[in-house]
Chain A
Amino acid sequence: HDSSNKRGLKAQLRKLIPCSGGRRASARTQNSVEDELELSAVRHRPEGLEQLEAQTRFTRKELQVLYRGFKNECPSGVVNEDTFKDIYSQFFPQGDASTYAHFLFNAFDTDHNGSVSFEDFVMGLSILLRGSVQEKLNWAFNLYDINKDGYITKEEMLDIMKAIYDMMGKCTYPILKEEAPRQHVEIFFQKMDKNKDGVVTIDEFIDCCQNDENIMRSMQLFENVI
Chain B
Amino acid sequence: MAAGVAAWLPFARAAAIGWMPVANCPMPVAPRDHGKRQDELIILNVSGRRFQTWRTTLDRYPDTLLGSSEKEFFYNEETKEYFFDRDPDAFRSILNFYRTGKLHYPRHECISAYDEELAFFGIIPEIIGDCCYEEYKDRKRENAERLMDDQEENKDNKLPNMNFRETMWRAFENPHTSTMALVFYYVTGFFIAISVITNVVETVPCGSTPNQKDVPCGERYTVAFFCMDTACVMIFTVEYLMRLFAAPSRYRFMRSVMSIIDVVAILPYYIGLVMTNNEDVSGAFVTLRVFRVFRIFKFSRHSQGLRILGYTLKSCASELGFLLFSLTMAIIIFATVMFYAEKGSSSSKFTSIPASFWYTIVTMTTLGYGDMVPKTIAGKIFGSICSLSGVLVIALPVPVIVSNFSRIYHQNQRADKRRAQKKARLARIRVVKTGMSSAFLHNKRNGLFNELLELPVMEQHLSKTASLLESQHHHLLHCLEKTTVSLLPTSTISNMTAHEFVDEQLYEQNCREGAVQSYPSCSPSLSSQEGPTGTCCTHQARKNPLPDASVPPTCQGALQELSAVHIQCSDQPALSTSRSSLNMKLDDTSRLNCKSGLITTAIISIPTPPAVSPEGDSQPLTSPSMQTIASSNAVKVSTL
Residues of A bordering B, CB below 8 Å: 61, 65-66, 68-70, 72-73, 87-88, 90-91, 103-104, 107, 121, 124-125, 128-129, 136-137, 139-140, 143-144, 157, 160-161, 164, 184, 187-188, 205, 209, 214-215, 217-219, 221-222, 224-226
Give the contacting residue for B7; candidates A69, A219, A224; CB below 8 A.
A69
Can you list the 3 inter-chain pairs with the closest CB atoms, starting with the nearest? A69-B7, A128-B14, A72-B4
* B227 adjacent to chain A (CB < 8 Å): no
* B24 adjacent to chain A (CB < 8 Å): yes
Chain A contact residues: over half helix, strand or loop, or mixed? helix
Q: Whole-angstrom distance from the CB of B256 to the nearest CB of chain A? A: 47
* B30 adjacent to chain A (CB < 8 Å): yes
Q: Is the CB of B26 within 8 A of A218?
A: yes
Q: Is the CB of A73 within 8 A of B7?
A: yes
Closest to A69 in B: B7
CA distance A218 to B11 in the complex (A): 16
CA distance A22 to B30 in the complex (A): 67
Could you write out 11 A-B pairs with CB less than 8 Å apart?
Answer: A61-B39, A87-B8, A90-B5, A91-B8, A124-B14, A128-B17, A129-B14, A140-B21, A218-B23, A218-B27, A224-B32
CA distance A140 to B19 in the complex (A): 8
Q: A88-B15, A137-B21, A187-B24 are in contact. List 13 more A-B contacts (CB 8 A).
A: A66-B10, A70-B7, A73-B5, A91-B8, A139-B18, A157-B22, A164-B19, A164-B22, A205-B21, A215-B20, A218-B26, A219-B20, A221-B20
* B12 adjacent to chain A (CB < 8 Å): yes
Q: Whole-angstrom distance from the CB of B510 to the nearest CB of chain A? A: 65
* B274 adjacent to chain A (CB < 8 Å): no
* B18: chain A residues within 8 A (beta carbon): 103-104, 107, 139-140, 143-144
CA distance A81 to B570 in the complex (A): 95
Closest to A86 in B: B5
* B9: chain A residues within 8 A (beta carbon): 91
Answer whether A73 and B4 are a contact pair too, CB < 8 Å, given A61-B38, A215-B20: yes
Answer whether A128 and B20 are a contact pair too, CB < 8 Å, given A61-B38, A217-B26, A225-B10: no
Closest to B9 in A: A91
* A140: chain B residues within 8 A (beta carbon): 17-18, 20-21
Q: Whole-angstrom distance from the CB of B167 to the nearest CB of chain A? A: 58
CA distance A69 to B13 in the complex (A): 15
Q: Is the CB of A219 within 8 A of B8?
A: no
* B2 adjacent to chain A (CB < 8 Å): yes
Q: Whole-angstrom distance from the CB of B474 to the nearest CB of chain A? A: 55
* B7: chain A residues within 8 A (beta carbon): 65, 68-70, 72-73
Q: Whole-angstrom distance from the CB of B19 to the nearest CB of chain A? A: 6
Q: Is the CB of B11 within 8 A of A121?
A: yes
Q: Is the CB of B14 within 8 A of A125?
A: yes
CA distance A160 to B24 in the complex (A): 15
Q: Is the CB of A69 within 8 A of B4?
A: yes
* B468 adjacent to chain A (CB < 8 Å): no
Give the contacting residue for B30; candidates A69, A107, A221; CB below 8 A.
A221
Give the contacting residue for B22; candidates A91, A107, A188; CB below 8 A.
A188
CA distance A143 to B19 in the complex (A): 10
Q: Whole-angstrom distance from the CB of B319 to the nearest CB of chain A? A: 29
Residues of B bordering A, CB below 8 Å: 1-5, 7-27, 30, 32-33, 38-39, 54, 56, 99-100
CA distance A215 to B24 in the complex (A): 8
CA distance A143 to B14 in the complex (A): 13
Q: How many A-B residue pairs have CB under 8 A?
A: 103
Q: Is the CB of A215 within 8 A of B21?
A: yes
Q: Is the CB of B1 within 8 A of A90?
A: yes
Closest to B29 in A: A221
* A68: chain B residues within 8 A (beta carbon): 7, 54
CA distance A90 to B3 in the complex (A): 10
Q: Whole-angstrom distance from the CB of A101 to the nearest CB of chain B? A: 9
Q: Whole-angstrom distance from the CB of A76 to the nearest CB of chain B? A: 14
Q: Whole-angstrom distance from the CB of A100 to the nearest CB of chain B? A: 8
CA distance A14 to B366 in the complex (A): 36
CA distance A124 to B56 in the complex (A): 23
In this complex, the member of B2, B12, B32 whose beta carbon has the largest number of chain A beta carbons within 10 angstroms is: B12
Q: Is the CB of B38 within 8 A of A221?
A: no
Q: Is the CB of B2 within 8 A of A217?
A: no
Closest to B56 in A: A65
CA distance A84 to B485 in the complex (A): 73
CA distance A224 to B30 in the complex (A): 9
Q: Is the CB of B22 within 8 A of A90?
A: no
Closest to B20 in A: A218
Closest to B32 in A: A224
In this complex, the member of A73, A104, A125, A136 whose beta carbon has the largest number of chain B beta carbons within 10 angstroms is: A73
Closest to B16 in A: A222
CA distance A44 to B17 in the complex (A): 28
Closest to A157 in B: B22
* A161: chain B residues within 8 A (beta carbon): 22
Q: Whole-angstrom distance from the CB of B21 to the nearest CB of chain A? A: 5
* A160: chain B residues within 8 A (beta carbon): 22
Closest to A101 in B: B15
Q: Is the CB of A87 within 8 A of B5?
A: yes
* A72: chain B residues within 8 A (beta carbon): 3-4, 7, 99-100
Answer whether A91 and B5 are a contact pair too, CB < 8 Å, given A217-B27, A222-B14, A224-B30: yes
CA distance A91 to B5 in the complex (A): 8
* A124: chain B residues within 8 A (beta carbon): 14
CA distance A129 to B16 in the complex (A): 11
CA distance A65 to B11 in the complex (A): 12
CA distance A160 to B19 in the complex (A): 10
Q: Whole-angstrom distance from the CB of B14 to the nearest CB of chain A? A: 4
CA distance A61 to B38 in the complex (A): 8
CA distance A204 to B16 in the complex (A): 21
Q: Is the CB of B22 within 8 A of A104?
A: no
Q: Whole-angstrom distance from the CB of B16 to the nearest CB of chain A? A: 7
Give the contacting residue for A221; candidates B5, B21, B27, B54; CB below 8 A.
B27
CA distance A214 to B28 in the complex (A): 11
Q: Whole-angstrom distance from the CB of B497 to the nearest CB of chain A? A: 67
